[in-house]
Amino acid sequence: MKIIVTSLGPSLDSPMDVRFGRAARFILFDDESQGFQIIENTQNLNAAQGAGLQAAEIVSRAGAECVLTGHCGPKAFKALTAAGIRIYTGVDGTVAEAIDRLRAGQLKQAESADSQGHAF
Amino acid sequence: MQQLAVISGKGGTGKTSVVACFAALAGEKVLVDCDVDAADLHLVLSPTILETHEFRSGHVARIREEDCRFCGECMESCRFDAIGPVGDGFCYQVDPIACEGCRVCVEFCPAQAIDFEERTCGEWFISETSHGPMVHARLGIAAENSGKLVTTIRQAGHEIAENQGRSLLLIDGPPGIGCPVIASITGTDFVLVVAEPTLSSLHDFDRVISLTAHFRIPTAVCVNKWDLNPEITRRIEQAARSRNVSIAGRVRYDPAVTQAQVKRLSTVEYGGQAADDIRKVWERIRARTTGLVQIDSH
Amino acid sequence: MKIAIASGKGGTGKTTLAVNLALVVPEAVALLDCDVEEPNCHIFLAPTVDRSEAIGVMVPVVDPDRCLACGSCSHFCQYHAIAGLDTGPLIFPELCHSCGGCVRVCPTGAMSETTREIGLVEEGWAGPVRVIQGRLRITEASSPPLIRAVKKRAPADGMTLIDCPPGTSCPVIAALRGVDFAILVTEPTPFGLHDLRLAVGTVRTLNIAFGVVVNRAQAGNRSIHEYCEAERIPILLEVPDSRQVAEAYSKGLSVLDALPGLRGDLDRLYREIKIRVGPETGSEPRECPAPRQKRSPDQPAGRDSQSQS
């Protein structure tokens, strides 16, 4: 299983970024190989519009099955759901801690977007 | 941090005058003038501009005359009637005002004679006023996309408030119910609608509270110049109650409001009966919003 | 002849002027309410609506059987209206500008277009005045397609008055485009003067002949006059500030009754504009080749009905 975690830094010890669309970067963690890959999100960070959607595209194309983040807006939520990706919001701590909690079954899947979109 | 937006549905109800008073009354806040089409708050608050930023949004197509083969593909492709022949020459031209920057003509020009340039739509400013920091903007004439500019300046205001530890973002919203209004109120904690006792305002009030209900934002109304028509004032307030919108008070008709504006002062600084009314409205809103659960949206 | 009534900010008396001018004009007149976010002319004229039509815009739909999920459509879209997921595109119709680009770039022909309703155009008679108004659906963000639909329904002959939305951005441009003359309504306050400047910039950019009407004029306050003299802008009419007018307006009553001299003033205003526009100069045909078949984004959604509502 591949997991995307929004992260402020480039390692598993980095603190998570609470933002999804405007996350500093994504860490794509592969549960089987225990390896990870960094996907920078520079373009979306500065986008005035559509950041959530484009982030959803990145996640979808990376082949991830679930996303661990802080907040997720309605458009990104809709897009991720349509792509069959599970979303866990309200997650904090470091990237590694978040992954551990997911494995331990301590995270609850989000049923709807938890923040309102700013850009319309 | 709390975000409070003041909107009106219909224009000219006295919204900006009310916001200027709140600016004078509120404690630690950042002001954002989201009425970018007809920004007026700076006329009362006389800001000193600290930073100027260019606002670019979207693109505009431009046909290179020397490469145009006059085939007409671009004109046929354009859904916005933005392309037509120029003069008696054999060249097409894009009307930058009508162009919506969709890139269709650029993509399908067989001569690849069309450039796609970033569009400068206006400027936005970070300023200092006697009532604290203010973010405001000037949209270029006939420029589009004010919703995006609204989002840009709200984000800037949000950042300033966070960096300086200010607890309130006070937003002067635009009229209407369209894109700029939606961009002004999404994600706010509280909306005040400034209405006036006219049938037009009553009608618009109904539409604007449907919008705040859609976004599930707690909303209150205050009727400005209420004594011009007590009957319609009552009808607006009735409509408010039936839709779960609270009443923040009434402000009476007072020529001092215009006199204050001419002197470039907020009504509460100038004084008068309307000033007393607005002060009470502000106190009620504070009482209402301090009871709200603090929602920290990233 | 098409006359637009506009102002930089709202609440200057734009709608009041448009409505009362329509009542005074001595020929067949259509009043177009292009303030589709907040249409208010009907409040004062109470037209009997005899025609109501849903207006739609074109938006894309995907045929999943033909889609390769290649991402061409989402990559092309300038408005972020399509998310290119690896399962195929997800469309956000409310962000679409109906440019048709995604349909044309799709390599397998999996994209086609359908219409999405954004509002209504209603028409009706209020006495001798034909009222045509647009009504944008709430939470709908983009009004220009609906404004264009309202304007398309203006009769070819006679007088058309257009009540514009406030501001200087896309909706106003859509309303002002192609008119013969614009009346800019303002009031003698610092806000009024500031917004008049913006409105003047807009009509000058669009190259439209215009003049100013000063509403709520106060003796002694010459700020608007000074500006107009310096800019060589004609002041066509001044309506005095009066609490009576404000009260009549608030009750939806005729301002013509509250202000006895107004009828004559509006008649003179109308005749002056006619002279300024000149004999049919506005409809002078532009030099251009025969128009080719065009695909229009503003198509009726197909609920054209002759309803009596």
Place of tokens 């609920």: C303
Is the pLDDT confidence value at A116 over 70? no
- pLDDT band for position A47 (cuts 50, 70, 90): low
pLDDT in tens, C226-252: 999 999 999 999 998 888 888 887 877
Query: What is the pLDDT confidence band of residue B38, given thresholds at 50, 70 and 90?
Result: confident
pLDDT given at position C252: 73
Question: Is A20 inside any structural domain?
Answer: yes
A60, A67, A85: best to mutate for the C interface, most C CBs within 10 A: A60
Nearest CA in chain A to C90: A79
**pLDDT at residue B295, as a whole number:** 38
Please check whether residue C75 touches A, CB under 8 A.
no
CB contact B147 to A (< 8 Å): yes
Which structure tokens are listed for C64? 């999943």
Q: Where are the domains of chain C?
A: 2-55+120-280, 64-109
Closest chain C residue by Cα to residue A82: C90
Closest-CA residue of A relative to C77 is: A50
CATH number of A45's domain: 3.30.420.130
State chain B's mean pLDDT as an integer: 90
Residue type, B62: R
pLDDT at residue B32 is higher than 80:
yes
Q: Is residue A77 part of a domain?
A: yes
Could you tell me the two tokens for C1?
């002849």
Using the Cβ of C138 and the Cβ atoms of chain B, whether some distance falls under 8 Å is answered with: yes
Average of per-residue pLDDT values in chain C: 87
Which residue shows structure tokens 């049938």? Answer: B199
Angstrom distance (rounded) from CA C72 to CA C64: 15
A64 contact C CB<8A = no
Q: Does A45 reside within a domain? A: yes
| In the predicted structure, residue B294 carries a pLDDT above the cut 70 | no
Confidence bin at B297 (pLDDT 50/70/90):
very low
Domain ranges of chain B: 2-46+130-290, 58-120
Chain A residues with beta carbon closer than 8 angstroms to that of B146: none
Lowest mean per-residue pLDDT among A59-63, B269-273, C255-259: C255-259
**Smallest Cα–Cα separation from B61: which of C78, C73, C96?**
C78
Do the chains contact at B176 and C165, CB–CB below 8 Å?
A: yes
What is the per-residue pLDDT across B116-153, written as a single tens digit (0 to 9) for each?
Answer: 999 888 999 999 999 999 999 988 876 765 677 888 89
Burial C55-89 (b: 16+ CB within 10 A, else e): bbbbbbebeeeebebbbbbbebbbbbbbbbbbebb
Nearest to B142 among C136, C142, C202 (CB): C202
B2-46+130-290 adopts what CATH topology? Rossmann fold (3.40.50)
Q: Any bridge partners for residue C114, and if so which?
A: C59
> Which chains would you list as touching B if contact means 3+ CB atom pairs under 8 Å?
A, C
Structure tokens at B191: 């909306």
Contacts of C90 in chain A (CB under 8 A): 78-79, 82-83
Smallest Cα distance from A49 to chain B, Å: 7
Q: Which residues make Cβ contacts (< 8 Å) with residue C75, sequence separation at least 6?
A: C84
Cα A92 → chain centroid:
12
Helix-helix angle B230-242:B199-214, to 10 degrees: 20
In angstroms, the CA C184 to CA B80 distance is 26
Q: Tell me the CATH architecture of domain C2-55+120-280.
A: 3-Layer(aba) Sandwich (3.40)
Q: Which of A78, A84, A120 sits opposite C87 (nearest CB)?
A: A84
Of all residues in chain C, the percent with pLDDT exceeding 90 is: 62
Pick the CATH number of C64-109 from 3.40.50.300, 3.40.50.2000, 3.30.70.20, 3.30.70.260: 3.30.70.20
Bridge partner residues of C48 (DSSP): C125
Using the predicted structure, report yes or no on whether residue B78 has a pLDDT greater than 70.
yes
**Confidence at residue A120, expressed as pLDDT on a 0 to 100 scale:** 32
| Nearest C-alpha neighbor of C118 from the set C138, C103, C133 | C138
Q: Tell me the mean pLDDT in the region B224-233.
A: 94
Would you state the pLDDT for residue C72?
A: 95
Range of the domain at A72: 2-103
Q: What is the count of structural domains for chain A?
A: 1
Q: Which residues are paired to B4 by β-bridges?
A: B170, B190
Average pLDDT over residues C79-91: 91
Q: The domain B58-120: what is its CATH number? A: 3.30.70.20
Under an 8 A CB cutoff, do C143 and B178 touch? Answer: yes
CA distance B147 to chain A (A): 7
Structure confidence at residue C281 (pLDDT): 47
Q: Summarize the confidence of residues B40-45 as an average pLDDT.
A: 90
Q: Is the pLDDT of residue B106 over 60?
A: yes
Adjacent-strand bridge partners of C212: C184, C235
